[in-house]
Structure 1
Amino acid sequence: MRWGFGVATRAFLVLMSCLMAGQMAWSTAVCAQPSGSLRRVGFLWIGTPDGSPSPSLASFRDGMRERGYLEGRNLAIEVRDGRGDAARLGPEAAALVASGVEVIVTQGSGPTAIAKQASSTVPIVFGAAGDPVGRGLVASLARPGGNVTGRAIDLGWNKAFELLREAAPNIRRAGLLYHAPSVPAGYLPIFLAERKTAAAALGFDLTLLPISSLDEVEPALAGFATAGGEALFVNGDPGLVTERRVVLPLVLRYRLASVCTDLRLPEAGCLITYGDDVNDSFRQAAGMVDRILKGAKPADLPIEQPTKFMLIINARTAKALALTIPPSILARADEVVE
């Protein structure tokens, strides 16, 4: 005798087999995806010189897992990076396109622009990019057009400068520490102009401190401090963030009031940090990737924008600098590191 099962019955049996595995929430999500359909996604970011993995990639994986995608079962993620050198990203982006991935997820404005140059047809979802309209990544926030969409990020530089001015009204000489190879050549003028404008608007004399390796950080800080430097803005370059437990103590050693926009830096000693949660942004970006894999077009998916920003004050660093943070700032802080 042959047994015949309807579609609903077969689906019920598959679901029950998953639930019997004893991991109800996880199994239900996995079974929600079509069996046997391996979806291929690329991930492109600037990378770090030592090859450290991107924390944002872990968050993206979490977001995909929450939507029923598991690597090795129904998802394959191919990661490409430039080892901290933007000049190496072009070939990596081209390799992703040639590999046949269905969507490319990018981290940052520079990698997004490079991915866009590599293909005008493969969907691109940026998990975090500043001013995507102004930088020519999309036509508008409501209707991106083309093959690019994603989640915008407000790097918070204008607010960061304002907070430093409020916390230390007498500071005039500020430096900007950034890893030059991480910034694509075409984006460098925009990158510098944005920060110079924000600094000048609040009366800061901004000194640029580009470095190309971690070995250059201490000489740059020593020279800046000797020349009368008082504060330092630490850019959220992957290399600097990865080495934060080396970089931030050096900043403190040279008695510089540090300001950051990456939420991973306060615990390493950054005095004032203001920004949105990039890792959460990538977790949410997985939702856009899921929609595209199910047939949505990037051109029709509006750019998602951050809604929550965090202000974190490191009281230990303030004490070490003999700096009193005004109550007006402490009252607005989401967290104070004691």
Structure 2
Amino acid sequence: MKLRKVLALAAAAVMAVAALASCGVKEDSSNDSKAGGSSEKHYKIGIVQIMEHTSLNTIRDAVIDRLAELGYVDGKNCTIDAQQANNESTTVQQILDQFKADGDDIIIAITTPCAQLAAPYSEEIPVVFSAVTDPIGAGLCDSLESTGANITGTSDKLAITKILDFALEMKPEIKTLGYLYNTGEDNSVSTLKEVKAYCEEKGITVIEGAASNTSEVQEAAQNLAAKCDAVFSPNDNTIAGAMGTVTEVMNKAKVPMFVGADSMVMDGGLGTVGIEYSDLGKETANMAAQILSGEKKASEIPIKVFNEDLSTYINKTTADTIGITIPDDIANGEKTVYFD
């Protein structure tokens, strides 16, 4: 009888320990989910950008850093495969094919060309895009509120009126404005329409300067510098990738170069009014994390357009080089940021 009692007590103890262990596992799983998913899951995240330049690198780095803050740490519970395509669409396609073959859980496509090429893959893999100026015009969705597909993302739509108002305040005598861009980039083409509408109201003549690749940028920039009072380039990847060349041409001609991104100011453009591109990357990562955790589907996340809380960015070295005096109200503005 004593032996039976001992065995019974031992069995009860084992069951109690097992029950406590079971509860402990459930609690840990819940915590893991909040930190980026169950520890048993190893996520594969593919990031593709059209090329290397400051704007896109800023977004990419912000995405990776923010994902780590949310618990998706490269080399621990996920593998992040970040690639760039040297401004070649065929290379983007190859990268996307590899993401699919690798069984990636999500694709993050930075820039309009990458997003457009990634869109068909959303039938099988969630896609989150970043730095798409006009998602509807690019054919990525019919509505910003609900894409109706396995795709969502962030938009860096330019505040054209504010940028060109700023340009006129910096140089009131502008009568001819050069528009430097790649005609193959949909975002630049759609922005041109807005620039022309603004300039028509102001009596400003717009002269286009097209470059289909970075090797053509210098000649296009020189042509515009010889004809225009100022030049503007939107968040065009081809131009952004050649800002060193553009800055040299414009500074030599003493022509102010207004741009679409803070990073293009950092790289030598005179100035812009817009967002901080790291914020774009952070929000893109927030969306990706919601999808990976199962909190939401891509189709349930509205596209976020960054067009509020804008800052004025000025390259002080460029201003000094071309002899531009910064008006006091801009120079002393609370939201004015200087690059040297």
1:36 aligns with 2:40: yes
Partner of 1:257: 256
Distance 1:58 1:314, change over 3 A: closer
Tell me the SS of whatever aligns to 1:55.
Answer: helix
Structure 1 residue ranges without an equivalent (≥5)? 16-27
Deviates more, 1:158-167 or 1:132-141: 132-141
Whole-angstrom distance in 2 between the partners of 1:195 and 1:236? 13
Aligned-residue sequence identity (percent) comes to 23
Distance 1:232 1:123, change over 3 A: same
Q: How do residues 1-338 of structure 1 correspond to structure 2 at under 5 angstroms?
A: 4=18, 5-9=20-24, 33-48=37-52, 54-86=57-89, 88-179=91-182, 183=185, 189-226=189-226, 228-295=227-294, 296-306=296-306, 307-332=308-333, 333-337=335-339
Whole-angstrom distance in 2 between the partners of 1:11 and 1:39? 21
Whole-angstrom distance in 2 between the partners of 1:256 and 1:303? 37
Distance 1:98 1:188, change over 3 A: farther
Whole-angstrom distance in 2 between the partners of 1:14 and 1:110? 39
Distance 1:13 1:188, change over 3 A: closer
Structure 2 residue ranges without an equivalent (≥5)? 1-9
Deviates more, 1:240-249 or 1:97-106: 240-249
The superposition leaves residues 241-283 of structure 1 with CA deviations (integer Å, 9 ceiling, x where unpaired) of 3443443233211211110121113333322222112222112
The superposition leaves residues 119-175 of structure 1 with CA deviations (integer Å, 9 ceiling, x where unpaired) of 434211112222323443223222221111122222233321221123222112222
Tell me the SS of whatever aligns to 1:34.
Answer: coil
Whole-angstrom distance in 2 between the partners of 1:86 and 1:257? 32
Q: How big is the shift at 1:328? A: 3.4
Partner of 2:3: none
Report how many aligned residue pairs link the two structures: 321
Whole-angstrom distance in 1 between the partners of 2:287 and 2:225? 45
| Preserved CA contact (<8 Å) 1:330 1:336 | no
Partner of 2:6: none
Tell me the SS of whatever aligns to 1:104.
Answer: strand
Whole-angstrom distance in 2 between the partners of 1:29 and 1:248? 48
Whole-angstrom distance in 1 between the partners of 2:302 and 2:174? 41
| Preserved CA contact (<8 Å) 1:103 1:124 | yes
| Preserved CA contact (<8 Å) 2:214 2:241 | no
One-letter code aligned to 1:233: F
| Preserved CA contact (<8 Å) 1:42 1:77 | yes
TM-score, normalising length from structure 1?
Answer: 0.81
Tell me the SS of whatever aligns to 2:262.
Answer: coil
TM-score, normalising length from structure 2?
Answer: 0.80
